[in-house]
């Protein structure tokens, strides 16, 4: 059974950038990727890509910001540990 949490991170309407959020384990395993979502929208609900055994994990959150034009340009990004 996959873990599903009804968390849908928002992209504030006043933001000028599209956002992409990735949740990773410390070893680089990707658990979830939001895909791009526009200002004023929320991401899809978080659904992990694989089951996790009971325990504690170090998670890495990665956010990337894009300007939308004819081409998508990444303009910034940040990564943090949770």
Q: Where are the domains of the chain?
A: 4-77
Residues of the chain short of pLDDT 50, as ranges, are 1, 82
Closest CA to 32 of 20, 19, 46, 18: 46
- The token duo for 26 is 């410390």
Residue-level pLDDT at 1: 47
Q: Is 41 exposed, middle or buried (0-12, 13-18, 19+ CB in 10 A)?
A: middle
Contact, 51 vs 10, CB < 8 A? Answer: no
Contact, 62 vs 9, CB < 8 A? Answer: no
pTM confidence score = 0.73
Distance CA 32, CA 8 (A): 12
């Amino acid at each position: 059974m996959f873990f599903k949490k009804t968390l849908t991170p928002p992209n504030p309407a006043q933001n000028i950038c599209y956002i992409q959020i990735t949740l990773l384990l410390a070893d680089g395993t990707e658990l979830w990727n939001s895909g791009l979502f526009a200002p004023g929208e929320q991401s899809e609900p978080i659904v992990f890509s694989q089951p996790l055994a009971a325990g504690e994990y170090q998670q890495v959150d990665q956010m990337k910001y894009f300007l939308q034009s004819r081409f998508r340009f990444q303009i910034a990004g940040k990564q943090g540990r949770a």
